Amino acid sequence: MPDRTPGVPLLLLLLSCLAVHPAAAQVQVIEGRVPPDIQEQAFEFLNSPEVVRLSGGIRIPAESRIEGNVAVLGGSVLAAGTVGGDLLVVNGDLRLLPGARIEGQIVVIGGTIVGEEDATLAEEAVVYTGPLRYRIRAGRVDPRPDEGVSPGFLSSDLGFGEARFTLRAASSYNRVEGLPVLFGPLIQTAGGNPTRLETFAIWRSTSGLNLDSDRLGYLFRIDQAVGGRGITSIGATAHREVVPFEDAGLTNTEASLATFLLGRDFRDHYEREGWRAYFSLRPGRVPLSASLSYREEEHLTPPIRDPWTLGSGEDPWRPLPMVAEGRSRSLEATLEWDSTDDPSLPTDGWRAMLGLRRQVGGELALPHSEPNAPTQGDATVTSVSHSLPFYTVGTLDLRRYARVGPTSRLNLRAAATGSLTGSPLPPQLQTAAGGEGSLPGHRRFALDCGARQTSRLLETHRSGDGQDPETAVVFPSHGCDRLLLFQAEFQGALPISWDPIPSHWDDSELSELVSLQPVWAVFFNAGQGWSEGDLATGIPRTDSPTRADVGVGFFMGPVGLYWSYPLNRRDRGLNFFVRLQQRF
pLDDT digits 0-9 by tens, 230-277:
678 999 999 999 999 999 999 999 999 999 998 899 999 999 999 999
pLDDT digits 0-9 by tens, 97-106:
888 999 999 9
Q: How confident is the model at residue 402 (pLDDT cuts 50, 70, 90)?
A: very high
pLDDT digits 0-9 by tens, 55-75:
877 888 888 899 999 999 888
- Average pLDDT of the residues in 410-431: 96
- C-alpha distances in angstroms, 523 versus 23, 355, 411, 549? 55, 27, 9, 8
The pTM (predicted TM-score) of the whole model is: 0.77
Whole-number pLDDT of residue 463: 41
Residue 325 CB burial class (10 angstroms; 0-12, 13-18, ≥19): buried
CA–CA separation, 506 and 43 (whole Å): 18
- C-alpha distances in angstroms, 180 versus 257, 275, 307, 516? 14, 20, 11, 33
Average the pLDDT over each of 25-39, 113-127, 505-519 and give the range with the smallest value: 505-519
What is the enclosing helix (H) or strand (E) of 195? strand 195-204
For 186, phi then psi, to 5°, come to: -130, 130
Q: Taking the alpha carbons of 549, 554, 557, 558 in that order, is the dihedral positive or negative? A: negative
Amino acid, single-letter form, for residue 461: H
Question: Is there a contact between 128 and 112 (Cβ–Cβ < 8 Å)?
Answer: no
Question: Is there a contact between 277 and 293 (Cβ–Cβ < 8 Å)?
Answer: yes
pLDDT digits 0-9 by tens, 166-175:
898 889 999 9
Beta pairing class for 125-128 and 27-30: parallel
Question: Is there a contact between 226 and 234 (Cβ–Cβ < 8 Å)?
Answer: yes
- Average pLDDT of the residues in 534-553: 88
Q: What 3-state class would DSSP assign to 44?
A: helix
Q: Is 229 left (phi over 0), alpha (psi -120 to 50) or beta?
A: left
Residue 155 CB burial class (10 angstroms; 0-12, 13-18, ≥19): middle
Long-range contacts of 182-190 (CB under 8 A, 24+ apart): 182/219, 187/158, 187/161, 187/162, 187/163, 188/161, 188/162, 188/163, 189/160, 189/161, 190/31, 190/32, 190/129, 190/160, 190/161, 190/162
Question: Is there a contact between 309 and 174 (Cβ–Cβ < 8 Å)?
Answer: no
Whole-number pLDDT of residue 469: 61
Beta pairing class for 519-530 and 155-157: unpaired
- Average pLDDT of the residues in 459-473: 62
Average the pLDDT over each of 27-36, 79-88, 399-408 and give the range with the smallest value: 27-36
% of residues, the chain, pLDDT over 90: 48
Whole-number pLDDT of residue 266: 94
Length of the chain: 584
CA–CA separation, 474 and 458 (whole Å): 7
Whole-number pLDDT of residue 156: 74
Whole-number pLDDT of residue 391: 96
The C-alpha angle 108, 27, 17, rounded to 5 degrees, equals 70
| C-alpha gyration radius of the chain | 27
* Domains of the chain with CATH codes: 10-143 (no CATH), 157-375+383-579 (2.40.160.50)
Whole-number pLDDT of residue 148: 42
Q: How confident is the model at residue 136 (pLDDT cuts 50, 70, 90)?
A: confident
CA–CA separation, 119 and 121 (whole Å): 6
pLDDT digits 0-9 by tens, 14-23:
444 443 333 3
Amino acid, single-letter form, for residue 42: A
Number of helices and strands in the chain (H, E): 3, 37
pLDDT digits 0-9 by tens, 285-337:
678 899 999 999 999 999 898 898 887 667 889 999 999 999 999 999 999 99
Q: How confident is the model at residue 539 (pLDDT cuts 50, 70, 90)?
A: confident
Amino acid, single-letter form, for residue 217: G
The maximal CA–CA distance of the chain, rounded, in angstroms, is 88
Question: Is there a contact between 219 and 203 (Cβ–Cβ < 8 Å)?
Answer: no
Residue 307 CB burial class (10 angstroms; 0-12, 13-18, ≥19): buried
Residue 211 CB burial class (10 angstroms; 0-12, 13-18, ≥19): exposed
CA–CA separation, 282 and 230 (whole Å): 8
Question: Is there a contact between 306 and 325 (Cβ–Cβ < 8 Å)?
Answer: no
- In 331-428, which residue ranges form alpha helices assigned H by DSSP? none
- Average pLDDT of the residues in 515-527: 89
Amino acid, single-letter form, for residue 59: R
Q: What is the DSSP letter of 174?
A: B
Q: Produce one character per residue of 515-526: b if its CB has 16 or more CB atoms within 10 Å, e if not.
A: eeeebebebbbb
What does the CA dihedral 30, 36, 38, 39 come to, rounded to 10 degrees? 110
Amino acid, single-letter form, for residue 357: R
Task: Residue 103: count other Cβ atoms within 10 Å of its Cβ.
Answer: 17
